[in-house]
Structure 1
Amino acid sequence: MLEGKYKDFLESISKDIEHNRIFTDKLHTLVYGTDASFYRLLPKIVIKADNSNEVQVIIKEAYKRELPITFRAGGTSLSGQAISDSILIITSRKFTNFKLAEDKSYISLEPAITGEQANNILKEFNKKIGPDPASINAAMIGGIAANNASGMCCGTAQNSYKTLKSIKLIMADGTRLDTASEKSKKEFKKEHGKLLNDLKELAKITKDNKELSKLIEKKYKIKNTCGYSLNALIDYEDEFDILSHLIIGSEGTLAFIEEVTYNTVEDYPNKASALIFFENIKDACDAVAKIKLAKDDKKIVVDAVELMDNKALKSVQDKEGMPEYLKEFNNEVTALLVETRASKKTLLTKQTKEIETLLSEFTTVREIEFTSKVEEYTLFWKIRKGLFPAVGAVRKIGTTVIIEDVAYPIESLSEATLELQSLFEKHGYHEALIFGHALDGNFHFVFTQDFNDEKEIKRYDEFMNDVTNSVALKYQGSLKAEHGTGRNMAAFIELEWGKAAFNMMESIKNIFDPSGILNPGVIINHDKQAHLKNLKPLPQTNDLVDTCIECGFCEPMCPSNAITFTPRHRIVANREISRLESIGEQKEADELKEAYVYDGIETCATCSLCSTACPVGIDTGALTKYLRHERITPTQDKIATFIANNFSTTLSGMRVGLKGANLVHNIVGTSLMSGMTSSFRKLLGTPKWSPTLPSGLSINKKFVNKASDKKVVYFPSCLSRTMGQSSFSQEEKNLYDTTVEVLQKAGFEIILPKELEELCCGMPFSSKGFKKQAEHKSIQLEQALIDASANGEYPILCDTSPCTKKMHESFISDIKIYEPIEFCLDYVVNELELTKIDEPITIHSTCSSRKMGIHEKFINLAKLCANEVIVPTDVKCCGFAGDRGFNFPELNDSALNKLKEQTSKAKLAFSTSKTCEIGLSEHSGLDYNSILYLVNRCSSTKV
């Protein structure tokens, strides 16, 4: 129970913020309070803020009571800067408005837009934002700016500090400032004249101190995010320019960023990358120095150089797509991943040749070979971005993976890197590896650490003291180059910068936040042991997810991310439950289990798209299926067995129900039907009804079937055997009849499996945790398809992608099963005359299609059939999840909240799953149908 000032604060903000976005219970404060760092604090209150007005209310009420507050966006922060033991404000996924300049030269972004979303907005104009952290798909703009995050290519020239045009802020007392508005600046000057004068005076003192100015200038020639952006004090004269640039990299300790306006940068369409292998790390570092010098002298064009030491290469050599020769290298070979970009292909070729010539003096293990093939260089970069989590995946369970982030002057790179490796050996971190943005002298080093043992903590402290002295004093480098200071390096700021500069930073904090309520303990922290306190435990919970390091890369892919938990949240919760059980706190563990059901189990779509974003492929959907299985009662198990053994009867019942609902709808109309079913749902908890709900269907298995040398086994899923068209649909034919027509048009003889009505892939059972029943149906179907296909002689087509994916996972035979996209591309389109339609269309790749790696193939097929194809960038899993869309429609509503606006220009819409199409149709206003309808519409038999 909250008491005193916190209770008063909670009562006050509850007048303006919905109660379902304010959390004080242990489960939600724990999971929402976790970031990607190896620190943990448990907030007393977590608030999801939808907009800046709400944030202003929260800040004002906290300011009145001098209660500490911390701001959080994507939570990919690695240095402990986004955690709190007081009030944590999370920018919700509604905080995503943007404005793009007419000439595309700048873009204004609210804090909850991810870097990937920002770049998707700019992509068609060959523009992007400057910052490009490895976590860009999950990191949000608020955090990217607040940490001055950089990355692979942006270096020091295109980070947030250098590309900032203007900024909107909410100060510690709740005052708003928009540096793009003269009116706002005038009002701010009237209210906060002293703050601005103090900043100008601080800038003057700094400029007058020639020694300090020279130090600052030198420190920012390389990447540096350790402490406040002191370069603002010497780079700018205008007080608002000084203020806005001090905010960049301030980690929420000076103000809340409600909007950032970036000057956009060119994103050249032509790119080429090469993995270049050197005999040892010294040669690789020397090559980097040569490349950097040539780039600065404008002798070559190179956009990025990423170093991966031998241990880094070894950590990824077994990953899918990696070349076999990696396994043959000795223990010294080091790689540079080099990328160059150009506006024209001819220029690109010239640039790659110049880089090859420049490096000709070095002995390389393999010939230098640049590739401009998207799929090849994308793989290189995907592997590089996944190095940190990959190390975490192979650590001993219960230990923590730590990533440190330093930068060296380029002239010292070889010597400093060799010394860093010697420190690994001195302190026994034999598994530590090095990788990073070598062109900027910026390296990450990764190692595993046990924080459950005092001796191990002492070893870590001694190691960090040696590293900080080496980097900051001996080589005059940066202790944090791009990950931010946080709690991790706050104790070492004075060591790096010296007393005078540190005093300046303390003055900056006092000018902006005299009460010290904004993110205390971050950047300015006088506890010299801060980096050793509040360490996060990572207890064992389940083999399916134990390798997770809580990086948060999975979160944007999750359809429940805006309403309940994400995969990271689910794993954090299960770890805490397991920890409590391991120490005998069963009652508290049971309370968390019960609290977890809705957020963790019921609203998980088990789409497993999280595994596609996770660098080590963790499938949290599998964890949810496991937990659902654990909760099955004997009665539920008996019912599931009865349904599995009497499947045709079940389907008949479904048909009757669907036909009945459709009949009532036709009689009473949509408005009354919606009202009635909504009332029933509130009173009785019945499934949601939608006007896009299909009517019941009985398929015609006795169609005219012409004999042909081309044979195909057609397995219509149980959905396409029971669901026809809704009254909303513009199509007259059902999917089954449409598929038959396409196949016959292409000259196929169609074979249907025997006992078709009893057949099911098992997905309806497995998704609910009924493993035994799912396996039974899968075995039954596999044998039927083996028989129908003459032991795999004929291809097998299933008209539904999720069912196809389930068969791929479950079947043990090598019979080839196709879903509609690949079957059309491999067998159908070459047999037909295709005429593209002029109407713009949109497509939705199901989760299964994405996991099967056919999203791009779907786009290609659509482009064979239509002149304009729209692919909504912010729609991943639709959240319908079989029957979840009926029983937990809020999941579908949330997952598709951007669909209508991103498909507004489309006239026709297509997917490959009947249930997905129900939700897609409802939320878009379009009539979604199988891609087979489009193929049928635009094709004719070859003459």
Structure 2
Amino acid sequence: MPVIEERTARVSELRDRLGKAGISVDASEHRRQEYSYDASNYRVRPEFVVFPSTTEDLKTILVGASEADVPVTLRGGGTSMAGNAVGDGVVIDVSRQMTTVDEIDHATNTVWVDAGVVLGELRAHVERNSGGQLTFAPDPSSLSRATVGGSIGNDACGNHSVEYGRMSNHVVEIELLTIDGAHLVASKGGVRTADETHRHSVARAAEINDALRALANSNLAALRLELQTIPRQVSGYHLANLLPENGFNLARALAGTEGTCAIILRARVNLVTKPGPTALLCVGYNNTVDSARDVMTMLEMRPSAIEGLNSAIVDIMRHRRGEASVSSLPNGDAYVMVEFSADTIDHATEKCDELLTRLRDRGLVQDSVIATEPAERAKLWRVREDGAGLSSKRLDGTQTWPGWEDSAVAPENLADYLAELLPVIEEHGYTASMYGHFGAGCVHMRLDFELRTEAGRENFSSFMRRAAEIVVRHGGSLSGEHGDGRARSALLDLMYSQEVLELFQGFKDIWDPSNLLNPGIIVDPVPFTDSLSLQGFPSQNVALPMPTIRPVTPIGQGAFVLGITEADHHEIGTFVGNAHACIGVGRCRATSGGFMCPSYRATKDEKDSTRGRARVLQELARGQGTSAGGWARPEVREALDLCLSCKACSTDCPTGVDMAEAKSELIQDHYRGKLRPFTHYSIGWLPRWLPLVTRMSTIANIGAKIPLLRWVGEKLGISARRRMPEFSTHAELRKRVAEADFSSDGEILVFADSFTKAFRPEVIPAAARVLRSSGAEVGCAADACCGLTWISTGQRDGATKRLANLVEKLDDGTDRDIVVLEPSCAAAIRDDAPKLVGSEAAARVARRVRSFSVAVDEAMNRGWAPDALPPARAVVQTHCHEHAAFGSQSQRRVLSKWGVADVTESSSCCGVAGNFGFEAEHFDLSMQVAEHSIIPALKKGGDEALVLTDGFSCTMQVSQINPFRETQHLAIALDPNNDRDASPRADKTGS
């Protein structure tokens, strides 16, 4: 039998065997595409993916793979930048089901935790269950999605490694499985069986201990001279832990093995005392080398963190997040952030002052700031922490890549290392966005490699070897945190002697003699130019404009299309280029912080993350040069079906992937000239029907409550379980518009959208009164439709016509603010109009648009204060589209200035997201999403809290959760003349 056919048969038999054992096995096309990538430059297609839930599941998988001779790759959050979380055999994802954290052992300050637990969730659990006394120390930038198992595998560190060291410093014991099914526990002193009744495990434990002791005893000189010579020597295996003076610590020796030796099930980790008050000193320098020369002086003061970054990171942050995001930085072209913790904030500040005096005496400092307020510290840290994602593109839109992003030297050698490396980067025609853990001598950088062409790859290969030679010459390590993976393993022969390389091989052979665990990594490495994800891609690396995040950046820039020429863009479609902006950092897999990604938070399934969807779309275009199949392809439909089109990814994703836009374009492409689903005509054309329905609102409202009609609606795609809104009458609308008393020459224009007019007309006069009380004459904008529902249902041609009409009406030659009462409509005009209409007029109109909360926030900044008395408590649900287009802080600022002391924010999508939550097939997920944020927020706020839902979708979700809970638009809340009984209530909805 030919080799390929034999392998196919073995893989098929293994897959069937695992399925019969009750293990979740997925060999679908979309799953294989999603798991072909991590956050590195590499693409390796697996045979299938498994999702074990127990140790027995994992044992069955490993024994089966061993017998079938199929490679195994363990995966947690899939955030590896070195390519050590992709493999061509079986990929085991432990992040979905192996997520248990045991009770804290307060006698030892340790806790047992499953490999699939996310670091940030572990930290939150520890702090919550220790009364805020303890925490888990390692804090890599991927803290919100990286898992314990993956972090042990890479020996991850983080911003505070100066004080707390690497992950290996916090690992006490590791429970593991070998490829042949032995169940062991590794700790200081060796390995032992986890099950005394399992003869194979007992025998393997003895065998491994004996073999490793013999290996160490015969290579003592090499272990002592070449390994663990600097704080961040992560490259290779950490075999110095086998030395007698280090206690033959196999738990620490296994940290950093990148899944090549054993499968980590669980680990017992150390906990530390939670730091006291902290102060942050940020110092500005002329250049990065100067900033590195002061590191040893900083270390003398024993700070908890020393983090560096260059001006490229700051420029990108300013462009993407706005001037305000970097306004706290001192002057300079390079920066170092030094943090001190102490028993009091005054003591921490004194340490900052003392260090600053020492640094000024050295003469390199250009400027400095000391931040003691939590908000200011967080703002400064955000510049550093967003570096990895934001630096994925230069300001001109050129993509940058990892590869040489993780080198490390001794801190005292950092400046000289950088002084030699930076000119070599320029020689090869690259630019570098740089940041890193300067206190530990570790440098992260992203370079604009060209990996699509043969010449580009040759230049890449030449640079990588030269860079490796430089770091070795300075006594450093190829990797200081991310591991070697596919990116650097083939360069280890430049760093280590042949004796040490043979030691690594011997260590691997003892654990995994058949070389099935993550083969090609560290030992017997694959070339770092193999399996590059861009190799063979049809287009050149042509930069188009970088996406920006509104409102703080210019409106109307074109979409960034990674690696797609202008001509290709028209042929392939924006959805391909936008998806290729994804670099796999996995921010969309975070379960807290930011609005992205509500569907992933509900399902914990990679396919429902922005990253998973982007990978499927990348595969759609791979090697085809066309969007062939598009929405009709099962893997594409499966990946995008549960996307709520909330647009949060366009803001929260560091690379600005806009999956809502991708989904809209794919749906349009698929249904062009075809009959569409009923919901596309009912909900999708809703603004077209509303003027007619409001003229017969009584009949419509009664009909919405008739069970038979609801049943018919369910069959047509509109959920019978979703509460329906109550239509206002046309007479009510006329009354409310008259009550608004609009001026014919208003300085501010109110745009009354279709939803507000049909369902909440009382908001119109309330908004006019509030804006008028701020000192402005208020007029009414021309009647038009933004086409939002056409966009969300993939009817972009129809949306373009409506937006073009709107632009023509609103582009009146003035720069008057246009205040749109429904935030999703404001976002459509702000974000979609320039893209779809593509004219200067559309850009002009977009710049004038404000959501109501933004307009009020600006008025308050000018000194205005509302007359209405503030409530004691409030719950705020910011609409996702407002978050994406305008930011999510304006309502919070308004409430703070108004005097509301107790504000609870729902920090994610409510779950309705326009038409999504009304569709029968999506109702259940809609309510699962609500469980993540809005439901807890309502409970935390209490029954007496004012609930603010400017978005009509959000109002409907609160009504669904509690039909008797009152909600208000901010305009109603701020209007002192408004009768509270006239404000919209959830009980105005139909059943």
Same fold by TM-score greater than 0.5: yes
> How far 1:652 sits from its partner (Å)?
6.1
Equivalent residue in structure 2 for 1:618, among 657, 662, 667: 657
Distance 1:867 1:412 in 2: 51
Equivalent residue in structure 1 for 2:884, among 844, 851, 863: 851
Distance 1:835 1:392 in 2: 44
Q: Structure 2: which amino acid aligns with 1:228?
A: Y
Question: Per the alignment, do residues 7 and 243 of structure 1 end up closer, same or farther by CA in structure 2, a change over 3 Å counting?
Answer: same
| Range that drifts further, 564-573 or 75-84 | 564-573
Equivalent residue in structure 2 for 1:552, among 586, 590, 596: 586
Equivalent residue in structure 2 for 1:28, among 28, 31, 35: 31
Distance 1:290 1:67 in 2: 52
Is 1:211 the equivalent of 2:236? no
Is 1:246 the equivalent of 2:278? no
Question: Per the alignment, do residues 516 and 754 of structure 1 end up closer, same or farther by CA in structure 2, a change over 3 Å counting?
Answer: same
Question: Per the alignment, do residues 36 and 746 of structure 1 end up closer, same or farther by CA in structure 2, a change over 3 Å counting?
Answer: closer
Structure 1, residues 764-814: CA drift from partner, whole Å, max 9, x if none?
122233344335545666788899xx988898461x432333344447346
Q: Using structure 2 for the length normalisation, give the TM-score.
A: 0.77
Q: Structure 2: which amino acid aligns with 1:409?
A: A
**Secondary structure, counterpart of 2:717 in structure 1:** coil
Q: Structure 2: which amino acid aligns with 1:848?
A: H
The aligned residue for residue 915 of structure 1 is: 953
Question: Per the alignment, do residues 605 and 484 of structure 1 end up closer, same or farther by CA in structure 2, a change over 3 Å counting?
Answer: same
Question: Per the alignment, do residues 177 and 653 of structure 1 end up closer, same or farther by CA in structure 2, a change over 3 Å counting?
Answer: farther
**Secondary structure, counterpart of 2:485 in structure 1:** coil
The aligned residue for residue 13 of structure 2 is: 8
The aligned residue for residue 404 of structure 1 is: 405
CA contact (8 A) 1:745 1:940 kept: no
The aligned residue for residue 883 of structure 1 is: 915
Distance 1:325 1:344 in 2: 23
> How far 1:275 sits from its partner (Å)?
4.1
The aligned residue for residue 393 of structure 1 is: 393
> How far 1:845 sits from its partner (Å)?
3.2
> How far 1:34 sits from its partner (Å)?
1.1
Question: Per the alignment, do residues 74 and 781 of structure 1 end up closer, same or farther by CA in structure 2, a change over 3 Å counting?
Answer: same
Distance 2:159 2:197 in 1: 37
Q: Percentage identity across aligned positions?
A: 19
Distance 1:466 1:642 in 2: 60
* Unmatched runs of 5 consecutive residues or more in structure 2: 540-562, 565-573, 591-595, 834-841, 981-991
Question: Per the alignment, do residues 600 and 192 of structure 1 end up closer, same or farther by CA in structure 2, a change over 3 Å counting?
Answer: closer
Distance 1:721 1:255 in 2: 63
The aligned residue for residue 483 of structure 2 is: 484
Structure 1, residues 647-682: CA drift from partner, whole Å, max 9, x if none?
4126668985564243439xx9xxxx8xx68xx85x
Q: Structure 2: which amino acid aligns with 1:770?
A: Q
Distance 1:906 1:795 in 2: 32
> How far 1:132 sits from its partner (Å)?
1.8
> How far 1:480 sits from its partner (Å)?
1.0
CA contact (8 A) 1:126 1:266 kept: yes
CA contact (8 A) 2:665 2:796 kept: no
Q: What are the within-5 Å matches in structure 2 for residues 51-130 of structure 1?
A: 54-99=57-102, 101=104, 109-121=113-125, 125=132, 128-130=135-137
The aligned residue for residue 827 of structure 2 is: 805
The aligned residue for residue 421 of structure 1 is: 422
The aligned residue for residue 521 of structure 1 is: 520
The aligned residue for residue 242 of structure 2 is: 233
Distance 1:805 1:107 in 2: 46
Q: Structure 1: which amino acid aligns with 2:46?
A: P
> How far 1:439 sits from its partner (Å)?
0.8
Q: What are the within-5 Å matches in structure 2 for residues 922-941 of structure 1?
A: 927=965, 929-930=967-968, 932=970, 935=973
Question: Per the alignment, do residues 269 and 868 of structure 1 end up closer, same or farther by CA in structure 2, a change over 3 Å counting?
Answer: farther
The aligned residue for residue 787 of structure 2 is: 762
Question: Per the alignment, do residues 249 and 621 of structure 1 end up closer, same or farther by CA in structure 2, a change over 3 Å counting?
Answer: same
Distance 1:12 1:712 in 2: 68
Q: Structure 2: which amino acid aligns with 1:594?
A: R
> How far 1:506 sits from its partner (Å)?
2.9
Distance 1:372 1:325 in 2: 12
Question: Per the alignment, do residues 127 and 449 of structure 1 end up closer, same or farther by CA in structure 2, a change over 3 Å counting?
Answer: same
Distance 1:631 1:753 in 2: 42
**Secondary structure, counterpart of 2:307 in structure 1:** strand
Q: What are the within-5 Å matches in structure 2 for residues 346-361 of structure 1?
A: 346-361=346-361
Structure 1, residues 798-856: CA drift from partner, whole Å, max 9, x if none?
1x43233334444734656443586489579731223525xxx7543331243255534
Q: What are the within-5 Å matches in structure 2 for residues 118-157 of structure 1?
A: 118-121=122-125, 125=132, 128-155=135-162, 157=164
CA contact (8 A) 1:401 1:549 kept: no
Distance 1:843 1:258 in 2: 41
Q: What are the within-5 Å matches in structure 2 for residues 777-816 of structure 1?
A: 777-778=802-803, 796=819, 798=821, 800-809=822-831, 810=833, 812-813=844-845
Question: Per the alignment, do residues 599 and 206 of structure 1 end up closer, same or farther by CA in structure 2, a change over 3 Å counting?
Answer: same
Question: Per the alignment, do residues 815 and 159 of structure 1 end up closer, same or farther by CA in structure 2, a change over 3 Å counting?
Answer: same
Question: Per the alignment, do residues 696 and 10 of structure 1 end up closer, same or farther by CA in structure 2, a change over 3 Å counting?
Answer: farther
Question: Per the alignment, do residues 690 and 768 of structure 1 end up closer, same or farther by CA in structure 2, a change over 3 Å counting?
Answer: same
CA contact (8 A) 2:742 2:778 kept: no
> How far 1:160 sits from its partner (Å)?
1.8
Distance 1:325 1:157 in 2: 27
CA contact (8 A) 2:909 2:933 kept: no
Structure 1, residues 164-208: CA drift from partner, whole Å, max 9, x if none?
34444344344555779x998453886423443345442476368
> How far 1:77 sits from its partner (Å)?
0.5
CA contact (8 A) 2:176 2:262 kept: yes
Distance 1:198 1:626 in 2: 59
The aligned residue for residue 307 of structure 1 is: 308
The aligned residue for residue 624 of structure 2 is: 581
Structure 1, residues 594-651: CA drift from partner, whole Å, max 9, x if none?
2344234443222221122333433232233333333342466996998665641266
Q: Using structure 1 for the length normalisation, give the TM-score.
A: 0.80
**Secondary structure, counterpart of 1:41 in structure 2:** coil
**Secondary structure, counterpart of 1:892 in structure 2:** helix
**Secondary structure, counterpart of 1:446 in structure 2:** strand
Structure 1, residues 724-752: CA drift from partner, whole Å, max 9, x if none?
xxxxxxxxxxx655886798799969999
Distance 1:592 1:55 in 2: 35
> How far 1:501 sits from its partner (Å)?
3.6
| Range that drifts further, 358-367 or 70-79 | 358-367
> How far 1:941 sits from its partner (Å)?
10
Distance 2:977 2:268 in 1: 48
Question: Per the alignment, do residues 336 and 519 of structure 1 end up closer, same or farther by CA in structure 2, a change over 3 Å counting?
Answer: same
Distance 1:748 1:784 in 2: 27
Q: Structure 2: which amino acid aligns with 1:549?
A: I
Question: Per the alignment, do residues 328 and 378 of structure 1 end up closer, same or farther by CA in structure 2, a change over 3 Å counting?
Answer: closer
Question: Per the alignment, do residues 314 and 510 of structure 1 end up closer, same or farther by CA in structure 2, a change over 3 Å counting?
Answer: same
> How far 1:55 sits from its partner (Å)?
3.8
The aligned residue for residue 727 of structure 1 is: none
CA contact (8 A) 1:277 1:366 kept: yes
CA contact (8 A) 1:167 1:261 kept: yes
Question: Per the alignment, do residues 625 and 230 of structure 1 end up closer, same or farther by CA in structure 2, a change over 3 Å counting?
Answer: same
CA contact (8 A) 2:75 2:93 kept: yes
The aligned residue for residue 606 of structure 1 is: 645
Structure 1, residues 263-294: CA drift from partner, whole Å, max 9, x if none?
334554644444433344443222112222x1
Q: Structure 1: which amino acid aligns with 2:531?
A: N
Distance 1:188 1:496 in 2: 44
Distance 1:99 1:930 in 2: 43
Equivalent residue in structure 2 for 1:895, among 929, 948, 957: 929
Question: Per the alignment, do residues 399 and 469 of structure 1 end up closer, same or farther by CA in structure 2, a change over 3 Å counting?
Answer: closer
Structure 1, residues 350-409: CA drift from partner, whole Å, max 9, x if none?
021011111012334632222335555444433334444445423887985534311112
**Secondary structure, counterpart of 2:294 in structure 1:** helix
Question: Per the alignment, do residues 928 and 460 of structure 1 end up closer, same or farther by CA in structure 2, a change over 3 Å counting?
Answer: farther
The aligned residue for residue 726 of structure 1 is: none
